[in-house]
């Protein structure tokens, strides 16, 4: 693109007066932008373009990713990935290699196995919408949109009964949603297990068990506190929106609050804290509190991976769960930090192509194993 034409288009882009065709030209140029080549626009204009495109990701739900290497000055931003329908950028300089015989590895999907209280297993993606089971005090129904919903069949009485527990197992490469009998909504991430009562009738508290990651929107009920347990932590709420990341293989448990108020109690040292919106507790040996962008912490349920100064090790662990692959580091590259946004609907080879444009890592895939080298 000629310099004067580019300058004119960038100026129109910044003034938000471009036609759709002109916007696509600017965004395509920016995605192919090479930091090592001379460009006619200023760093200030470049940063403004990147800000507008970052906003467009969320406004238009485009499957876009950008990466920022923290050792590079703020003005030097690489935008790579898939804009619009999926154009490859930086393909010639990618450090990703795929064995020609390998089948493309697609993203995860809605899948889970429901184990009923009597031990019966149901593969949920194979079940048509309608009633799945009738258990004491509760109907289990699969809705048209794919999620599972529990409905109390007997609203009467506060007679204490022994609760029946179902267990929902979401494998690697899966995610799932359900609505509990009290109306609480739960999104369950890959490689996670949730155990919960089919009904809360006659119970003084609403208690469930989580291994892995889940996002909760809890129905308000001051008389029956909602409790999420795992081996290291108890989280107690009355009615709120929050996320818990508690994978057994991780050294930490992260609890992030979006709305309301929760109490986090450590089973390691009996420490406790109160979370307010926009704060996150990190439990390792003790509980530490941090202010966070809570929306970034729940990116997965909205169809994105958002990396915020995240290590390559943590990024690849998240990808491994979603794409159902294993990661093998051949060099100690785990602590490289990246910023980025990427759609969870992107195929794995494209994700690795994006990551490899940092020039810091090289990827190869063989038999669903991703090998990471310098």
Q: Which of 71, 33, 70, 72 is nearest to 50 (CA)?
A: 33
- Note the pLDDT tens digit of each residue in 44-98: 555 555 555 555 544 433 333 444 333 222 222 333 322 222 222 233 344 555 5
The pLDDT value given to residue 4 = 63
Beta bridge partner(s), residue 29: none
Cα first-last separation, the chain: 34
3-state secondary structure of 196: strand
**280 to 210, 226, 295: CA distances (angstroms):** 18, 19, 12
DSSP 301: G
Pairing label, strands 226-229, 206-217: parallel
Domains 1-105+303-374 and 109-297 share a fold: no
Chain CA centroid to CA 159, Å: 40
Pairing label, strands 113-115, 185-188: unpaired
How do the pLDDT tens digits run along the chain, 374 residues long? 555 676 677 778 777 788 877 776 776 665 555 443 445 555 555 555 555 555 554 443 333 344 433 322 222 233 332 222 222 223 334 455 555 456 689 999 999 999 999 999 999 998 899 999 888 778 899 998 888 999 887 655 555 667 899 999 999 999 999 999 999 999 999 999 999 999 998 888 999 999 999 999 999 998 899 999 999 999 999 779 999 999 999 999 999 999 999 999 999 888 999 999 999 999 998 999 999 988 888 889 988 888 878 889 999 999 999 999 999 998 888 888 887 778 888 889 888 888 887 677 889 999 899 999 98
Q: Give the pair of three-digit tokens for residue 124.
A: 């949920």
Fold held by 1-105+303-374: Phage tail protein beta-alpha-beta fold (3.55.50)
Q: How far apart are CA 81 and CA 32, in angstroms?
A: 10
Residue 334 backbone phi and psi in degrees, to 5: -65, -25
Q: How far apart are CA 329 and CA 316, in angstroms?
A: 10
Class of CATH domain 109-297 = mainly beta
Q: Is 252 exposed, middle or buried (0-12, 13-18, 19+ CB in 10 A)?
A: middle
The pLDDT value given to residue 182 = 92
Beta bridge partner(s), residue 306: 341
Q: Give the pair of three-digit tokens for residue 63.
A: 């499957």
The pLDDT value given to residue 325 = 96
Q: Are 217 and 235 in contact (CB under 8 A)?
A: no
Q: DSSP alpha helices (H): ranges in 33-102?
A: 43-60
Q: Give the pair of three-digit tokens for residue 241.
A: 């929106």
Q: Which residue has the tokens 């999620």?
A: 147
Q: Are 178 and 166 in contact (CB under 8 A)?
A: no
188-225 burial: b if 16+ Cβ within 10 Å, else e: bbbbbbbbbbbbbbebeebbbebbbbbbbbbbebeeeb
The pLDDT value given to residue 332 = 84
Domain layout of the chain by residue ranges: 1-105+303-374, 109-297
Q: How far apart are CA 39 and CA 28, in angstroms?
A: 15
Residues 6+ apart with CB under 8 A from 257: 240, 241, 242, 275, 276, 277, 278, 279, 280, 294
Q: How far apart are CA 204 and CA 199, in angstroms?
A: 12
The pLDDT value given to residue 232 = 94
Cα radius of gyration rounded to whole Å, the chain: 23
Q: Which residue has the tokens 């202010």?
A: 291
- Note the pLDDT tens digit of each residue in 341-355: 788 888 898 888 888
pTM: 0.76
């Amino acid at each position: 693109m000629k310099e004067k034409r580019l300058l004119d288009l960038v100026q129109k882009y910044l003034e938000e007066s471009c036609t759709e065709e002109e916007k696509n030209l600017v965004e395509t140029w920016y995605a192919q932008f090479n930091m090592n080549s001379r460009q006619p626009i200023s760093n200030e204009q470049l940063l403004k373009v990147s800000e507008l495109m970052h906003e467009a990701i969320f406004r238009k739900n485009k499957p876009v990713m950008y990466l920022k290497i923290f050792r590079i000055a703020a003005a030097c931003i690489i935008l790579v990935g898939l804009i619009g329908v999926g154009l490859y950028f930086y393909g010639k300089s990618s450090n990703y290699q795929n064995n020609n015989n390998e089948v493309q590895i697609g993203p995860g999907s809605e899948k889970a196995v429901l184990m009923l209280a009597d031990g019966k297993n149901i593969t949920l993606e194979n079940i048509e919408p309608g009633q799945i089971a009738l258990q004491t005090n509760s109907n289990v129904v699969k809705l048209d949109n794919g999620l599972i919903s529990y409905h109390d069949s007997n609203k009467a009485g506060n007679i204490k009964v022994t609760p029946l527990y179902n267990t929902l197992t979401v494998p690697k490469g899966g995610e799932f949603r359900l609505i509990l009998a009290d109306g609480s909504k739960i999104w369950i991430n890959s490689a996670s297990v949730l155990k919960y009562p089919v009904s809360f009738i006659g119970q003084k508290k609403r208690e469930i068990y989580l291994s892995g990651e889940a996002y909760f929107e809890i129905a308000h009920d001051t008389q029956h506190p909602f409790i999420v347990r795992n081996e290291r932590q108890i989280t107690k709420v009355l009615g709120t929106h929050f996320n818990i990341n508690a994978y057994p293989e991780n050294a930490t448990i992260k609890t992030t609050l979006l709305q309301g108020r929760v109490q986090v109690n450590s089973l390691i040292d009996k420490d406790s804290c109160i979370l307010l919106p926009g704060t996150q507790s990190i439990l390792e040996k003790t509980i530490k509190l941090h202010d966070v962008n809570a929306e970034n912490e729940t990116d997965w349920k909205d169809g994105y991976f958002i990396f915020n100064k995240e290590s390559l090790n943590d990024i690849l662990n998240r990808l491994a769960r979603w794409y159902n692959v294993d990661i093998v580091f051949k060099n100690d590259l785990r602590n490289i930090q990246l910023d980025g946004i990427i759609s969870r609907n992107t195929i794995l080879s494209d994700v690795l192509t994006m990551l490899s444009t940092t020039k810091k890592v090289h990827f190869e895939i063989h038999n669903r194993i991703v090998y990471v080298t310098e």
